[in-house]
Structure 1
């Protein structure tokens, strides 16, 4: 029997460790369970002008459920390169697989890799997935188009995709961004639109960029992201079959479509 979505919004059974990617030459953060062998891992892309710290709660949450998460802190200025951030996401996956994590009690299975991101970082996750046949699943939050276009890269993404978007997002309106990416996705794809959420709904805390980027933190969006991303990655990366049924169900408070 599948766990209810509400259960997956609460912290998982693992104690979480936080590390610094800069120790291996890539600025950013990595969150891991304290121990675990052959774990799944994802690389997470930050949004435009957003520091990695604005996703700390989500990244820690995923790690508490047994998923290693690496988040590069590169290309964070107003003119950051989508191509370079996509490359850094792929490098972050290399780090997860090839670098000793924790105190040696953690290992990542190279066949259990995924990507995720928010805003332009979500678009960059799509770009990275299109060029990396190791990637088994991709999740996006308020995805923004990139240069090159994420919606075009999505045509090369045969792995499962999960997309969450805000119905009141004026920075990346879903019709031209997340919805288009989900519609052009080559593999199975599902889009959930939160009607009242804005572009920064999935970000945490406060930051000076709140003055120039539309939106504000939304606790409902955070809860939904924690639960759905946990179910999605545990199902598609860790092979926890019981979450497949949960992912196929409509989610209360959202408008969702399967492509």
Structure 2
């Protein structure tokens, strides 16, 4: 994969205009189930040492409602995977966090795709991130928190994931976060990575004050909190699902477009070193409010 040519930093409006459109790379789809984990993965058709992100679904939602987001990220040179696990009403948040790390382990540990006409795609294990929507956003925070023995976040012997899983994360993104068990708010104090938190201003399922605001305030590393003023909880989802009848909100093309641009910019900046997109982290963007990044003392 050819690298994006570095250049002058773009204004936030220009970042959104550029990255809300599909990227320059053709995309392939694969199934994580082939290696024992239900879910999907999208990759550029070629490339070596690529960044990768694992994205967790919201409560009861199938991974299929995020396919456009995954495909979009891959079109910009980012391998994007989504476990399709823990989908029941009592799905394990800790289990979903573990599955995020497992998905990244698969992406960074095996060659993806490839045939007689094109070499397989590879992922750089130093360029990994987790993200999620709703419940999945909380699970992403759990996946990124350091073990309890280092932080006293929760009882020693009850780590958020299986210690020694072997995945080194570099960034975390949350979308309309819903708190989890164990608490993502508590776990956020043990996340010492750059974090971008996207809250939805008209979210009645997980209002920002009960989720994203608290996590951003507790974050152990550099973070930003951006509220999309007109977005509802389901705004980022695609297609139809029976939960649309019982959960507030609906799929919103404008919300999906903005989330695609902001998440792509954040990941390209933090994982691929594309500083020209840095303004999307804390710059002014129409119909949003942003809190300046902060670094907590630990």
Verify same fold: TM over 0.5. Answer: yes
Q: Is residue 2:38 matched to residue 1:27?
A: yes
2:282–2:291 Cα contact (<8 Å) kept: no
Task: Normalising by structure 2, report the TM-score.
Answer: 0.85
Question: Which residue of the other structure, out of 129, 151, 171, is the alignment partner of 1:137?
Answer: 171
RMSD in angstroms over aligned alpha carbons?
A: 1.2
2:94–2:142 Cα contact (<8 Å) kept: yes
**Structure 2: gaps (5+ residues):** 1-7, 147-165
- With over 3 angstroms needed to count, the CA separation of the structure-2 counterparts of 1:69 and 1:119, relative to structure 1, is same
Shift of 1:98: 0.7
Show the 5 A alignment for 1:1-259: 1-3=8-10, 4=14, 5-103=16-114, 104-131=119-146, 134-258=168-292, 259=294
Structure 1 moving runs of 4+ over 6 Å? none
Larger radius of gyration between Structure 1 and Structure 2: 2
Tell which deviates more after alignment, 220-229 or 25-34.
220-229
Tell which deviates more after alignment, 131-140 or 227-236.
131-140
1:2–1:246 Cα contact (<8 Å) kept: no
In 1, Cα distance between equivalents of 2:284 and 2:190: 26
SS in 1 for 2:254: helix
In 2, Cα distance between equivalents of 1:246 and 1:125: 20
Task: Normalising by structure 1, report the TM-score.
Answer: 0.97
SS in 1 for 2:66: helix
In 1, Cα distance between equivalents of 2:278 and 2:204: 32
When the two structures are aligned, how many residues end up with a matched partner? 259
